Amino acid sequence: MSTLLVIDDDRLHCDLLEVALARQGYQVSTATSGRAGVALFRQLRPLVTLIDLRMPEMDGLAVLKDIRTQDPCAGVIILGGGATEEQENQARQLRVTDFLRKGLSLDVLIGAVHRVAQQSRRQVSSTPVPSVEADRALNEQILVVDDDVMARDLLVRFLSLRGYQVRSAKDGGEALRVISESTPDLLILDLVMPEMNGVEVLQALKERDYAGRTIILSGHQNDSLLAEAWALGPHEVLDKPIDLERALMAIQLVMVCREC
């Protein structure tokens, strides 16, 4: 059974996560302070550790820093309600595995735990990925275009934490302005948006001889619109709501095929 550790000074939140994750088959331990959490981590060596960002005396970043001195590759998710950009950057520098808003639905959080657990199991059972692959990701630029703030923000955070340079746009018009300034290697484009939908963006880019790759996000609300999009040559279509693990695999495949 996989061991998880939850570190959060909110006892009620600890209990909620313990029950929810235990139902998923995990063995869950909890700590209500950063110092107690670090001591438990040293004792248990959990597969995944969830850390609340805001805690008295020893906050989530301090806990993460201590964990990294013990295990540079441990799976760690920070729950960062109200996090600043500086705090997120510090977490990335400390190689946090994922960074989630506190208050997201349990389904989203459990999905993140499953992904990080699978990633941690692969690290334990296989040799490390050559650093050249990580270096390549650092040079790849992605533009995420979606009028759904939560979906856009989730995808931007997820990909940023995996080493990609990610920008975002809230609609088609803003996307075209961003692309005119700097062409991304990959465009992740929502199909259904007000004022200017994904098909219209693709048509405008075709006229500009856009050379990047494109992945369409579709909730299948309009199959005829999706057919129009396919005719304009996107490299992949992903369903909404987004399966982040599948999205990452699709992105990696599209990026590799770019070199073929």
- Which pLDDT does position 131 carry in this prediction? 44
Over range 140-157, report the average pLDDT: 90
Contact 5, 45 (CB under 8 A): no
> In whole angstroms, what is the distance from residue 130 CA to residue 115 CA?
21
Over range 250-258, report the average pLDDT: 77
What confidence tier does 184 reach under pLDDT thresholds 50, 70, 90?
very high
> In whole angstroms, what is the distance from residue 165 CA to residue 159 CA?
8
What confidence tier does 49 reach under pLDDT thresholds 50, 70, 90?
very high
Degrees, nearest 5: CA angle 164-167-169: 145
Task: Indicate if the pLDDT at residue 130 is higher than 50.
Answer: no
Least confident of 54-58, 148-152, 204-208, 219-223: 219-223
Cβ of 150: how many Cβ atoms within 10 Å? 12
* N-term to C-term CA, the chain: 41
Task: Indicate if the pLDDT at residue 102 is higher than 80.
Answer: no
With b for 16 or more beta-carbon neighbours within 10 A and e for fewer, the 191-226 pattern comes to bbbeebbbbebbebbeeeebebbbbbbbeeeeeebb
Query: To the nearest whole number, what is the mean pLDDT of the chain?
Result: 86
Q: Assess whether the previous peptide bond of 241 is cis (omega < 30° from 0).
A: yes
210 or 103, higher pLDDT: 210
- Which pLDDT does position 127 carry in this prediction? 40
Over range 142-149, report the average pLDDT: 94
What is the identity of the amino acid at 21? L
SS3 (DSSP) at 179 = helix
Task: Indicate if the pLDDT at residue 239 is higher than 80.
Answer: yes
Domains of the chain and any CATH numbers: 3-125 (3.40.50.2300), 131-258 (3.40.50.2300)
